[in-house]
Amino acid sequence: MNRLKVINRKQGPVTEQELLQACREEDRRAQKLLYDRYSPVMFGVCKRYMKTREDAEDVLVEAFFKVLTHLHQYKGEGSFEGWIRRIVVNEALMALRRRHNFSMTLEISNFDAPAPAKAVGRLAEQDILAFLDQLPTGYRTVFNLYVLEGYKHREIADMLGISINTSKSQLILARKRLQELLEQAGYPGIEGAAG
């Protein structure tokens, strides 16, 4: 039976497996459903890396094109959303690499880093994005990869073509700058920026 018919007749939500199979069969309605289901979360990921909404939208579209054209590579191992997230992050990094030379970023040594931060639970997502948008591209990218995505400095260095020490330096400087921004915004006594 054609997956499209299953999707059209099925009452209630379509299972992930049914949706993926229909997308593999190039069912346009299933592809739209997949996009509608996962794009809101992935757009949030894009906005963390890109400074403008338009750039984030471009990355999202390119990433979902790759998701749909490489869907056969997803073998059902691990979270499908996690698989999409890796594609979105990689697409964002490729867009940033086209615009920004990460090898030219500052590497510091013997710097007194602020203490790791406590999360500020009262900050809304938009406030956090606004603070991240104020960081230079290198700081923001390393911060996102390390703190929010959970990559190690060695992985970040490989992804961005920088040294491990540069990755560490960018994170230290990002935390320091975020601490300054939070204090300027009226959050005194915060001891660093997330992490």
Digit-coded pLDDT (tens) for 15-34: 999 999 999 999 999 999 99
Give the CATH number for residue 82.
1.10.1740.10
Would you say 88 and 45 are in contact if contact means Cβ atoms under 8 Å apart? yes
Band of the pLDDT at 187, cuts 50, 70, 90? Answer: confident
Predicted model pTM: 0.69
Q: In whole angstroms, give the CA distance from residue 20 to residue 3.
A: 10
pLDDT per residue over 82-121, tens digit each?
999 999 999 999 998 887 756 545 444 544 444 444 444 5
Give the CATH number for residue 149.
1.10.10.10
Sign of CA dihedral 74, 75, 80, 85: negative
- Is 191 part of a structural domain of the chain? no
Burial of 82 (0-12, 13-18, 19+ CB in 10 A): exposed
